[in-house]
Amino acid sequence: MPVECAQDGGALTISIVGRFDFEMVQEFRTAYADKDASSYVIDMRGTEHMDSSALGMLLNMRKSLGEAANISIINCRPQIKKILTISRFDKKFKIE
């Protein structure tokens, strides 16, 4: 399963393994939809590839949860962090 979820107290961690692409749209949405969490963490430690549809999924998550939601993206590989930075996602998400 490429998307794994774990809720620790109020934080929901979504771990993405392998390719973060269009094939994961429904699974990614299900991971955070209708969850009551104080913060959301997207762990990309196991993410090998990310395409433009993944960027769209992240933006949809932001829109769905609202601008006030605390969403962090952590453990990015250098090439993925570069994509996020170039796309100015550091303005909408906390990237570590």
Q: pTM for this one?
A: 0.91
pLDDT at site 72: 97
CATH of domain 3-95: 3.30.750.24
pLDDT at site 8: 79
DSSP string spanning 33-95? TT---SEEEEE-TTEEEE-HHHHHHHHHHHHHH-TTS-EEEES--HHHHHHHHHTTGGGTSEE
- Give the residue from 14, 33, 82 showing the smallest Cα distance to 1: 14
Tell me the mean pLDDT per 10 residues along the chain, length 96.
Answer: 77 95 94 91 96 96 95 96 96 95
pLDDT at site 36: 86
* Residue where the block lists tokens 């390719």: 19
